[in-house]
Structures are given as structure tokens and as C-alpha cells.
């Protein structure tokens, strides 16, 4: 569709995990074939492993464990009673042991599910569901049910992030026709906080590991992305360009942990992050944020065709 019409596009994404070397090589070969054929399609590179959270208010995490799936997605007023019901516990153990087992499902790998957030503060936190079951001598299903009774149905598990092949990804990032803007930030409000991938690129790939130079990291976040989209008036610092700037010192910025805030319409919640330590954000020459606080200035404009 795009090639014959001269349309530029982007596609997601170069495989990033350490155990995907063959898949990554095949994907890069496909990209080369597209480019050699004159198709202007740019692949994206996810540079930060996702920290996925699983809550018990409504989720698909336990869809192959019927008793747990029905509890998680059922009426909220019944959940704590079910967790304490011996008959439900028996059924939950049976469903857990007799589920179908895909290779990478989190429920099949309880050692990768970490107790992360507690409503009551009882804990334990920071250990895996598998370790907690072993420590308490319980079936994994019972260990999870008991932990929720102690910590509250609004508590959350976190999945251990996948391991990326970072040296291989750094080489991909250096390619002049790849993008790192795979992030859709606010699209997964209660699963993870996508914001912060740019900070991760600067701190981890440059400052902490040296896999990229500072110039390489900044360029892929600014000039390359702006050029791909066609924003010719920004993306570099030069006379006559729009003064869109992020002001920071490398030893001051960091990627904060996810925090829950209840600012979603109708009273729901989402994950966000604390400010990352940037000194200022400047749009069109006007500071919109200083030291993590909004200035109240709104100098930006909508990018795109006129809506009038």
C-alpha cells in the first residue's frame, strides 16, 4: 500500500529480547528488503523492558484459570468472601493445576510475578509468588489468595521485565532509519506507565552503560524523529528553528518508579511517574516546566492539518 504511493510509515517493532536473536535477524533482513525495494517504512525499537503490573479489579491475567478469572472480573463486593471460601479455594487449586499452559504466560511462571503494591501495607513485598508459596508451604493459588486477604483486593503484582539484548539494540538504534518512539505512554493506564522511555535511553544506554554516545541518544530522540515526521522547523538547535528544548544534567535525571494516582474521570486510577529531574522543558522558546513543576505557560500548537 505505501510503497507504490510513496507514503512513509513506521512499523512495530524490532524484537528486543535476548532470546530473540534469530527473530531479530529475520526482522532486520525484512527491513533491508523493504528499503532496497524503495519502501519508506521505518521500524521502531523498544529500548526499555516493560514493567507490567497485574491488578485484581479487572484483568485478563488469569483467563485460563476459571475460578480466578471469574473472581477478578466479577462483582467487587464478592471478591474477599470468595478468597476466604474453602470451596472456592478447592476449585481454584484444581483450575490452576489443570489449565492449558502456553510457553510465556505469566501465570505459568509464578517466579516472575512479584508482590509489588499493597493496600494495607501488610506484605510481604518484593518477593515472587513462587517464593511466597514455598516460604508458607502453600499451593501457589492459596498463597496468592491469602496474600490478597492480608493486603487488599486493590493490591498489585508486578512481572519481572524481560531481558533485552542491549548491545544488539544499540546497533539497531544507530541505524539512520530506525525510531525509538514506540511508546504509547497513556494507553495502558493500569498495566504500566510508558512515560520515561526517553529518560531511560539517556540514563541507561548512555550514562550507565556507554552503549550510545550522548549525541547519538539525543539525536534519535529529537532530530531523527522530527525529520521522520516532517517537522522541519525543529529537532535540532539552530538559528531559525523553533526553540523546543529539554534542559538537564545527566547526573540529576533518573527514571522514577510507577506510582498510582486517582485523577482519571469517574474516579478510576492510573500509573504515572514522578518528575525525572529535568531542569526545564521549553516549547517555542517558553518554559512550560521548571524543576518538575508546570509554569502555566502553554506556547505549543496542534501539529497537523487545520481543523477549521
Tally of CB atoms within 10 A around 66: 16
Rg (CA), the chain: 23
Kindly report, residue by residue over 119-148, the tens digit of the pLDDT. Answer: 999 999 999 999 999 999 999 999 999 999
pLDDT given at position 308: 45
CA-angle at 294, arms to 292 and 299, nearest 5°? 125
Give the residue among 181, 194, 183 at the shortest CA–CA distance from 228: 181
pLDDT given at position 305: 61
- Residue 186 pLDDT > 70, yes or no? no
Instruction: With cut-offs at 50, 70 and 90, classify the pLDDT of residue 58.
Output: confident
CA-angle at 144, arms to 256 and 137, nearest 5°? 120
pTM here is 0.84
CA-to-CA separations, 162 to 6, 16, 96, 133, 261, in angstroms, rounded: 36, 9, 24, 23, 26
Instruction: With cut-offs at 50, 70 and 90, classify the pLDDT of residue 226.
Output: very high
Amino acid at each position: 500500500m505505501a510503497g507504490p504511493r510513496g507514503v512513509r510509515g513506521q512499523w512495530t517493532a524490532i524484537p528486543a529480547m535476548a532470546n530473540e536473536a534469530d527473530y531479530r535477524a529475520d526482522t532486520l533482513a525484512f527491513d533491508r528488503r523493504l528499503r532496497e525495494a524503495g519502501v519508506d517504512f521505518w521500524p521502531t525499537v523498544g529500548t526499555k523492558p516493560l514493567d507490567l503490573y497485574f491488578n485484581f479489579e479487572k484483568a485478563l491475567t488469569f483467563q485460563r484459570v476459571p475460578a480466578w478469572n471469574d473472581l477478578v472480573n466479577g462483582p467487587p463486593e464478592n471478591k474477599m468472601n470468595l478468597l476466604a471460601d474453602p470451596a472456592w479455594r478447592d476449585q481454584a487449586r484444581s483450575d490452576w493445576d489443570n489449565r492449558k499452559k502456553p510457553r510465556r504466560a505469566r501465570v505459568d511462571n509464578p517466579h516472575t510475578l512479584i508482590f509489588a503494591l499493597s493496600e494495607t501495607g501488610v506484605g510481604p513485598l518484593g518477593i515472587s509468588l513462587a517464593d511466597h508459596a514455598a516460604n508458607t508451604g502453600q499451593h501457589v493459588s492459596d498463597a496468592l489468595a491469602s496474600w490478597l486477604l492480608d493486603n487488599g483486593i486493590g493490591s498489585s503484582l508486578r512481572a519481572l521485565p524481560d531481558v533485552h539484548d542491549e548491545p544488539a539494540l544499540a546497533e539497531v538504534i544507530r541505524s539512520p532509519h530506525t525510531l525509538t518512539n514506540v511508546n504509547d505512554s497513556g494507553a495502558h493506564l493500569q498495566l504500566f506507565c510508558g512515560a520515561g522511555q526517553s529518560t531511560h535511553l539517556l540514563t541507561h544506554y548512555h550514562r550507565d552503560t556507554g552503549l550510545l554516545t550522548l549525541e547519538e541518544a539525543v539525536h534519535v530522540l529529537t532530530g531523527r524523529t522530527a525529520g521522520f515526521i516532517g517537522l522541519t522547523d525543529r529537532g535540532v538547535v539552530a538559528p531559525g528553528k523553533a526553540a523546543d528544548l529539554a534542559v538537564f544534567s545527566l547526573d540529576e535525571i533518573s527514571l522514577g518508579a510507577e506510582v498510582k494516582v486517582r485523577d482519571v474521570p469517574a474516579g478510576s486510577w492510573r500509573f504515572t511517574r514522578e518528575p525525572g529531574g529535568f531542569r526545564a522543558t521549553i516549547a517555542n522558546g517558553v518554559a512550560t516546566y521548571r524543576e518538575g513543576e508546570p509554569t502555566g505557560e502553554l506556547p505549543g500548537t496542534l501539529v497537523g492539518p487545520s481543523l477549521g
